[in-house]
Amino acid sequence: MAGLTYFHNKPGPEVRIPIDAGIAGHVATTGELVNIKDAYHHPLFYKGVDQDTGFKTKNILCFPICDETGVIGVAELCNKEQGTHFTKYDEEMALAFSSYCGLAIMHSLMYKRVADAQYRSKLSNELMMYHMKVPDDDVENISNNIVPDTYLIHAEFTRFEFNPRRIPIPDSARAVFSMFKSLGLIHRWRIPEEILARFILMVKRGYRDPPYHNWSHAFSVSHFCYLIINNTNILNNNMISELEGLGLLVACLCHDVDHRGTNNSFQISSNSVLAALYSSEGSVMERHHFAQSMCILNTEGCNILENLTKQEYTQCLDLMRDNILATDIAHHLRILPELNDMAANGGYNPGLPHHRSLLSSLIMTASDLSDQTKDWKNSKQIAQLVYTEFFTQGDLEKAMGNRPAESMDRERAFIPTLQIQFLDYIAIPVFRVLAELFPVANQPFHSVSRTKRHWTRAGEILKDRAMPGDCMTIFQDSSLDEISLE
């Protein structure tokens, strides 16, 4: 406080005095209550206020108002009406009143800070959506033209072997639209085609451009989800509900929106804004992806769920949230024993809600890892993107003075070994369970097992060459491809 302000009930300007002057100044600087029986004979009394206001001060009870940081104000009572001065009881009442004042002011300031943060967030969202705005011509190019059936996009579009990254990026949004159409989701949920087109394009714009966690990855994940639903026929056989089918495909599309190329542990160790928002709940990035998905859904002209009933709408949002959170590998590892039990003990039972939840999580994880189920060339290209992203994070961690995990340290990583460990402990168990539950989906399991053999052979070759420390150069070594494929 630079000074003290006096307020009174008579019209006129406020009266200001220095913070170290008078009785109020003494209380403000010491934080002590003062009870004065005769004001004009007290050495601290400042007569200037009476002179300015015409008020005659007889006795004074002055006390501080505090919060956890110290004195934030001073209250002063003058001229007790009944009695010659303020009593001990008055002092106790004043201190009790002071406590309530301190709490009220603290809560008021806290409310203002929260309100200000909400306003800033609203402005930031408005700014983000302005820059993410999708041109109407792009929307019309999808919604007003005949979207081809999936088999017309590519003859092998519905085969597990097909690599969706072969589809040019400019054509990918139309391909996503065709997947919604092929599964009957547009008709079933009465999704206006213009809104679906704008939603897909907004999600596409919501992805940043890190080496791996970008729109191409989201498109690949969505395509594999489509393959599972389409090829296993789980939707038509009522093994999942139509609402669950919608929640799965939308979640796959949105599951990494606004990914920054760094993982959950980095967010926490770097004390990022995202960690401040979500670290207490776990799955920092996944919660952010869901929040950004909600932001897009709530943008004008993008709500593909607008024709759902209130109950369906709430259920679909819950499904989207749970599905996106399921892409956290930590979540997958926690439920892996249950997935194995489900596959070993009679298989999937759609009548059990827990089985339905497990299946959705399995589909999300399998879709998220689906790049590993394509041919060796694609697997190697994807590994290059992944480790480019990993090593960039590792460099940031080193700059922060931290020691990155081996998989993110370009000086320690031996990529073939890391890939084999990843396949053994994460990818292969996922696709093994998927194949056990749905034999029609055994091709991805065989493919990922074959990929492991390629990495094993590649590692042996590099070790024979005495190049165990070699990292990214292996991706430019065409002879390694030729030898490992023999």
User: What does the alpha-carbon distance between residue 146 and residue 213 come to, in Å, rounded to a whole number?
Assistant: 30
What is the reported pLDDT for 13? Answer: 58
Average of per-residue pLDDT across 242-255: 98
Q: What is the pTM of this model?
A: 0.76
Strand partners, 4: 17
- Beta strands 60-67 and 70-78: pairing type? antiparallel
Measured in Å, how far apart are the chain's first and last C-alpha atoms?
80
Taking 50 as the threshold, does the pLDDT of residue 413 lie above it? yes
Strand partners, 16: 5
**Which of 75, 382, 362, 387 lies closest to 232, judged by CA?**
362
pLDDT band of 11, cuts 50, 70, 90 = low
Taking 90 as the threshold, does the pLDDT of residue 445 lie above it? yes
Non-local CB neighbours of 245 within 8 Å, separated by 6+ positions:
183, 185, 229, 235
403: three-class secondary structure by DSSP: coil
What is the reported pLDDT for 119? Answer: 62
What is the reported pLDDT for 1? Answer: 42
Average of per-residue pLDDT across 309-329: 97
pLDDT band of 483, cuts 50, 70, 90 = low
Catalytic residues: 213
What is the reported pLDDT for 45? Answer: 86
What is the reported pLDDT for 152? Answer: 86
Sign of the torsion formed by the C-alpha atoms of 261, 266, 267 and 271: negative
Taking 50 as the threshold, does the pLDDT of residue 215 lie above it? yes
Pick from 123-132, 270-279, 340-349: least confident: 123-132
**Residue 307 neighbours by CB distance under 10 Å:** 13
What is the reported pLDDT for 163? Answer: 97
Q: In what order do the strands lie in the sheet with 34-36?
A: 34-36, 60-67, 70-78
Taking 60 as the threshold, does the pLDDT of residue 100 lie above it? yes
Q: Which domains does the chain have, with CATH numbers?
A: 3-117 (3.30.450.40)
- Per residue in 339-358, pLDDT (tens digit) is 999 999 988 999 999 999 99
What is the reported pLDDT for 206? Answer: 92
Strand partners, 71: 66
Give kind and range of the element (H or E) at residue 429.
helix 428-437
- Per residue in 136-147, pLDDT (tens digit) is 999 998 988 887
> Is 466 exposed, middle or buried (CB count within 10 Å of its CB: 0-12, 13-18, 19+)?
exposed
What is the reported pLDDT for 2? Answer: 43
Tokens of 358: 């497990």
DSSP 253-273: HHTTTT--S--HHHHHHTT-H
Taking 80 as the threshold, does the pLDDT of residue 180 lie above it? yes
Mean pLDDT, rounded, of the chain: 89
Percent of the chain with pLDDT strictly greater than 70 = 91
pLDDT band of 195, cuts 50, 70, 90 = very high
Taking 60 as the threshold, does the pLDDT of residue 470 lie above it? no
What is the reported pLDDT for 471? Answer: 76
- Per residue in 32-87, pLDDT (tens digit) is 999 999 988 888 887 877 887 788 889 999 999 888 788 888 898 999 988 889 99
pLDDT band of 107, cuts 50, 70, 90 = confident
Percent of the chain with pLDDT strictly greater than 90 = 64
